[in-house]
Amino acid sequence: MLDISVIIPVYNASEFLEKAVLSALQFDEVKEIILIEDKSTDNSLELCQRMAIENPKIKLFQHPDKGNHGAGATRNLGIEKSTGSFISFLDADDYYLPNRFDAEKEILTDSKTEGVFGAIGIEYLTEKGKKEFQSKFKDTSLTTVNYPAEGNEVFKGLLGLTPKTFGTFFHLNALTIRRSSVETNHLRFNENLRVHQDSDFIIKLAYHCYLKSGNISEAVAMRGVHDNNRITKIKIYSKEYNQRQSLIWNSLYEWSESVKPDADAGQHIYLQKKAFELSLAKGISKAVNLFSVILKNPNILKTRYRFTYTHS
């Protein structure tokens, strides 16, 4: 049987937290639930303390200084505190469905496979949250990929470098990964990214580890959308949006210099970085134009832009 540590970062989530925890407790495969409380201003800490007393599977931690450090640092602390052979993540305002680990029980018997990902659904908890989310994202019924994939195809798909359209990102809530693989490859969330640290982590994970799609046709977890979701509050192509996109692609660019991914992946990362730098300096229309021109004629990179890789 799998033994899984479920890591839940907690910040101002008292309204949803108990449902999230109970959804993870239903599985025999879940060895422990790691709650990392990140200096909430509501009564989340008191709720965490009560649940930890009531159930020995629930373990509560805070940052050493009891401060607020953001989702990336909070998940990193959860990884450090986990003891299961496998790690799964769950946001405090989301929850697992009864089929959450069905694919894992089959696929992870193969020692070659280091991680499995599936699909998640959407539950609208407020009308305002629903309106904001649907105005930003086209297909809101299921967050999944368009076809089964494994190994390097997953990494290529996430960067849009496959002949087929890979589709949307998979979500952390639907990911299960061997803890040994995370430790061996020194994988952690970038604590400098207040948003998109999950996307940054997933791309790096897909490069270093052999991932395989599980159930991608139906939800294995549900994402709660409400008024306080950070990602829906940022308007696409706004100054804040461009700045945050620039931060994630700069993070990936710096990482790509040390790991030397293949040329196509490196060029794509470099291009995204340059496009968002330009969007900050000269406006999004010119950045989008640059991006589209180079995508249609990737050889332009060889003449207009120099991109080299170095080993760490």
Per-residue DSSP letters for 204-249? HHHHHS-EEE---SSEEEEEEE-TT-HHHHSPTTSHHHHHHHHHHH
Q: What is the pTM of this model?
A: 0.88
- Coil, strand or helix at 32: strand
pLDDT of residue 60: 98
Residue 195 region by backbone torsions, left for phi larger than 0, else alpha for psi between -120 and 50, else beta: beta
Reported as type and span, the H/E element at residue 295 is: helix 284-296
pLDDT per residue as tens, the chain (312 positions):
899 999 999 999 999 999 999 999 999 999 999 999 999 999 999 999 999 999 999 999 999 999 999 999 999 999 999 999 999 999 999 999 999 999 999 999 999 999 999 999 999 888 877 777 776 766 668 889 999 999 999 999 999 888 887 876 789 999 999 999 999 999 999 999 988 899 999 999 999 999 999 999 999 999 988 777 766 566 655 677 778 888 999 999 999 989 988 888 988 898 888 877 777 765 555 555 555 555 555 544 443 333 332 222
- CA proximity to 279, closest of 239, 247, 248, 236: 239
Residue 107 tokens, joined = 């696929």
Which residues neighbour 192 within 8 Å (Cβ) at sequence distance 6 or greater?
Answer: 72, 247, 251
pLDDT of residue 224: 87
Numbers of helices and strands, H then E, in the chain: 13, 11
Residue 92 tokens, joined = 């405090």
Contact 101/204 with Cβ under 8 angstroms? no
Residue 301 tokens, joined = 């990179």
All domains of the chain in start order, with CATH: 4-233 (3.90.550.10), 239-304 (no CATH)
